Amino acid sequence: AVQPLGLDATAATEEAEAVLNGLSRLFQKVGDVRRNQIRIDHIKKDARRFAGEAEKLMQECAPDLQSLPPDEAAAELVNQFKKGKDDLKDQNNLDKRLKQIRRELADLKRDREGAKATLDRLMENAGARTPEELEKAERRSKEYRDITAKLEDLEEQLLGEGVPIEELLEQAQTVDPDVLPAEISRHEEKSGDIGKDCAGLRERIGSLRNELGAMDGSGAAAEAAAEAQEALAATHGHVESYARLKLAALLLSREIERYRERNQGPILKRAAELLRRITLGSFSDLSTGFAESDNMILLCVRGNGEHVPVEGLSGGTRDQLYLALRLASLERHVDRNEPTPLVFDDVLVNFDDRRAHATLGLLGELSEKTQVLFFTHHSRLVELAREAIPPQRLKEHDLDQLASCS
């Protein structure tokens, strides 16, 4: 049996097994070679097909790449495709920018036409033929206005003396201009001396009146002095009383402010948040101040920082402010006490749709803490409630249907 293997009949079993194992490995290698050859044939076939398709594609799309090997040509074509995509993206961006520039150019043209029309109208009114002449006319107009203003000031000064301008002009024609500076200086000096004399005379008159009062034998001076002392004593008492009252008022106002910050602060803060949501940001905050009577008042703060008192609000906004304050107080009460049902009866009749929608959303949030009953006979509010409140939280009851069922 082992002789066909080239072994002697006396060969050992191990030798025969070694030869058989070698043959088995050889046959396996031969099988691998055949399979690899088949695979190589397929690869060559695919390569030929790829080369043919690549050559056809190069002929149609990129004739300049036909001189390259198929794999290099394909790689270059892929790179060109990617670059084309980037170029297309850049082209789209440039097209958008071009459209924007064209719009801006159109706006500039309209502005230029409007400016030209205005310039033409101004030139026509000024009787100018060129912009340079218009600029000169504008300077002359400004000089004219300045001179006119100075003239009006001078006329007011002259008329203040009580003398008509015509008479002043006649008087001025008879005066030598060369002597005016000296005359003006002399009159100013004289006016200063007269003023000093007047002040001295006033002091002298006051002193003489005091002496005359002291020389009166009727005792009126003594009585007046006594009354003056009584008035002085009363004044001291009033000053002390005023100081005590003013100090008490200051301490009381500070204590009121501390109490307000400790108790009303959270409610006002929450009310400000609710008012901001109800008014859609028209009012951003609430603050307090004092009226002329020292009474504390509530102020609504607009988005631009303007403080508006309650009297300055429209009727609808006042209703929204009141509702925000009530909701803030109710939320604080619900947080600290047992929840009780809250009933609202058409509180949104003065609200527009947008603010009513925002307010219904707030009531929907409040319903997470306690039961909210909202009565209305406006179907529009029902539609807004369906938009503002999640369906799992909103329950509708038509009282007409309930009445017909009963």
290 SS3 class: strand
**pLDDT at residue 344, rounded to an integer:** 92
Q: Are β-strands 307-309 and 296-302 bridged in parallel, bridged antiparallel, or unpaired?
A: antiparallel
Residues forming a β-bridge with 136? none
Instruction: Tell me the C-alpha distance between 321 and 309, whole Å.
Output: 11
Query: Could you tell me the two tokens for 86?
Result: 């980037």
Instruction: Tell me the C-alpha distance between 349 and 355, whole Å.
Output: 11
**pLDDT at residue 10, rounded to an integer:** 81
**pLDDT at residue 358, rounded to an integer:** 93
Q: In what order do the strands lie in the sheet with 307-309?
A: 283-290, 296-302, 307-309
Instruction: Say if residue 264 is exposed, middle or buried (CB neighbours under 10 Å; 0-12, 13-18, 19+).
Output: middle
Instruction: Tell me the C-alpha distance between 154 and 146, whole Å.
Output: 12
From the list 346, 337, 403, 333, the residue with the least C-alpha distance to 375 is 346
Contact 285, 272 (CB under 8 A): yes
Q: If you search the block for the tokens 């603050």, which residue do you land on?
A: 287
Residue type, 173: Q
Element (H, E) at 300: strand 296-302
Instruction: Tell me the C-alpha distance between 308 and 286, whole Å.
Output: 10
Contact 57, 49 (CB under 8 A): no
Instruction: Tell me the C-alpha distance between 213 and 206, whole Å.
Output: 11
**pLDDT at residue 68, rounded to an integer:** 75
Q: Where are the alpha helices (DSSP H) in 215-314?
A: 220-259, 265-278
Question: If you ran DSSP here, which 8-state letter would residue 291 be given?
Answer: -
Contact 330, 336 (CB under 8 A): no
- Encode the chain (406 residues) as per-residue pLDDT tens digits: 777 777 887 888 888 888 888 888 988 998 889 889 888 888 888 878 877 777 777 766 767 766 777 777 777 777 887 888 888 999 999 999 999 999 999 999 999 888 888 888 888 887 888 888 888 888 888 888 888 888 777 766 665 555 566 665 666 666 556 655 666 666 667 767 776 776 777 777 777 667 666 655 555 555 665 666 666 665 655 666 666 666 656 655 665 566 566 656 788 888 899 999 999 988 988 887 777 666 778 889 988 888 888 888 888 889 999 999 999 988 888 888 888 899 999 889 888 999 999 999 999 999 998 999 999 988 899 999 999 999 999 999 988 777 666 6
352 SS3 class: coil
Within 10 angstroms of residue 308's Cβ, the number of other Cβ atoms is: 13
From the list 331, 326, 396, the residue with the least C-alpha distance to 370 is 331
Instruction: Tell me the C-alpha distance between 16 and 3, whole Å.
Output: 10
Element (H, E) at 311: none
Instruction: Tell me the C-alpha distance between 73 and 56, whole Å.
Output: 12
Residues forming a β-bridge with 290? 296
Rg (CA), the chain: 53
**pLDDT at residue 395, rounded to an integer:** 92
Query: Could you tell me the two tokens for 257?
Result: 């402010």
**pLDDT at residue 125, rounded to an integer:** 82
Instruction: Tell me the C-alpha distance between 268 and 6, whole Å.
Output: 112
Q: Where are the alpha helices (DSSP H) in 10-69?
A: 13-61
